[in-house]
Amino acid sequence: MCGIYGYIEVNEEGLFERMGRSLRHRGPDGEGVWSDRSVALGNQRLAIVDVEGGKQPFASEDGRVRAVVNGEIYNHAELRRGLEAKGHRFRSRCDCEVAAHLYEEEGPDFVKSLNGEFAIALWDAGSRHLLLVRDRLGIRPLYYAESGKGLIFASETKAILESGRVSRTINTQAVDDYLSYRYTHGEHTFFSSIRRLLPGHILVWEEGHGSSSRYWSVPAAGARGGGGDPGQFLSLLEDSVRLRLMSDVPVGLFLSGGVDSALIAALVKRVGTGRVRTFSIGFGRRDDELAAAKERARALGTEHSEHELKPADLYELPRMVWHLDEPVGDAIIVPTFALARMAAGEVKVILTGEGADELMAGYVHQRTLLFLENILRLVPGRWVSRVVSAWVGRLPARFLDLFFAYPARAGNEGRERLKSYLEDFAHAARAVGHFTSLFEPRDKDTLYHSEWKRNLSEGELSDDAARLTRLNGARGGRLVERLLDAEMETWLPDYTLHKQDKLLMAHSLEGRVPYLDHRLVEWTAPLGLRSKLAGGSDKVLLREAAAGVLGERAAWRKKHAFFLPLEGEYNNALLELAGRYLDRDRVAARGILRVEGVERIMRLARGRSLLYTKQLAALLILEIWFRLFVDRDRTLVETPTVEHLL
């Protein structure tokens, strides 16, 4: 795991050093650089495999090919044997060295032979082109920006901004998407001039021009149909866990009370050697996961550590936003950051259960959408949705909690969203937007400053669900299956994996995700819906596989959402921070939001409404991001505090 960076056809004294310094948290164990006329490649290394000998950049025997790699290549031993049989000579035991040699044999198609999580930059001096590669699922980040006829790239946008050659002009659509979904998606970032290399893509840059192509796609949900064999699922997952224990340094895992991480922990015990370290976090509430995690750790015999979050941890939000690069409008970043810091004190590598919910339909909105879809399919016709919508509108919000996880906890606004979903059911993407958006178009219409609304191009404000166009596509199938397709390409890389990478690497901690081995994804994603959602249960196949390892009780334990409860003292801390950052003068000067709209959300958040506290947290994080990355000519190299920005 590392931070990589570099450029082609960009000459500026001191740039390379500034870029490397901004990424030092990603790789505190050493720096490796190489340059030749107008090309430069750099690496800030977090040493995991071949700690002493794995210095980058790597080179082919004749020096024609140079490569820097962020991540891990888990099948490197097999690839190395084949390459050595063809006469290649290696100078280290490091897994990532195979990239340069394999490229010599297979050209750009070399990436198809890799099993791992990686971002790669490779310079071919023979053809004089630069190759940028990102892994299939988007586990490792990679950004780039054009500068005249040149290109600058890095693992984080802050390193690209160090050039001073890249405009800090804001991408207005990205801000709009952020307020809808709490993150930005696709290749576009918050900066109009910086792009994100998409998962499963290769970018070739030569003679001042770049071309991008896709080398892998997630198989469509339900494409194969039918059910899956729990034994086969478990076999694939076990092999994935075995590969991800590859390390010359201590490895641990995050453990909650849920089945995803518990199954990973059990498989680590089965295939690993040595002691197993587990880490959990709680919030000082009876319904947090600490007790369940401790029980699971005791049953598995792990060395368990736990941390209880405090309201004061919210005051580290500026550090979190700085490390995120692009904001994630969700208070979940606070416990994730704290958990990573605790684990980094004992290990350098952590296994997580991320990806299981996206792959196996583990989110409550997916289960709720399937339930509603089944009701509406019983009696077709648009009038049915209108009748049911009217019925829902007359029920107390608390009563709806018997059926749905959202409305009661979101108050009357949640009930209105459920009604809107039923009324818009014929328009799949818009209907889904009612469940997944933080600010709906009608919210933003009253929240946005009039000048900002004019900056948004026509149609962008009215339909936030553009990112879910696949939901309205011609593929057919169930709405939930189309939603799974869309979220594997958007939510998974740009929310789930983005925050994991940035918040863990803030503490020089490498996160690995066994559920996202591409072989497991290729086998699981196209299974029929009954392997994922059936009988009111989620992740059905995963739970069936886990039952033989953990026992029935643990395998079918009800899922508890992992979120920061912004109540009590947490609510007070949020409101205090919001009052300091979102003052009337600053909001007015920013020119994005109406002062009255922000003050209304602050008043409603004092009433402890889940929805409005979430909205306020997102607005606070956005303002912190602007102060860090837009209001300054140069990005802070040292992580900031609250006082830095006031």
Q: Which residues are catalytic?
A: 2
Structure tokens at 512: 């690995």
Distances (CA, A) of 413 to 196, 393, 434, 609, 615: 34, 11, 11, 10, 12
| 375 CB neighbour count, 10 Å cutoff | 13
Residues 623, 618: Cα–Cα separation, whole Å: 9
- Please state the three-class secondary structure of 23-43 as a single string: CHHHCCCCEEEEEECCEEEEE
Residues 24, 581: Cα–Cα separation, whole Å: 28
Helix, strand or coil, per DSSP, at residue 46: coil
CB 591 within 8 A of CB 449: yes
Q: Which helix (H) or strand (E) holds 526?
A: none
Structure tokens at 358: 């996206």
* CA proximity to 627, closest of 282, 217, 168: 168
Task: Return the CA Rg of the chain.
Answer: 24
**Beta bridge pairs of residue 590:** none
Distances (CA, A) of 412 to 90, 119, 438, 447: 64, 45, 15, 19
User: Which positions ≥6 away from 229 have C-beta within 8 Å?
Assistant: none
| 572 CB neighbour count, 10 Å cutoff | 14
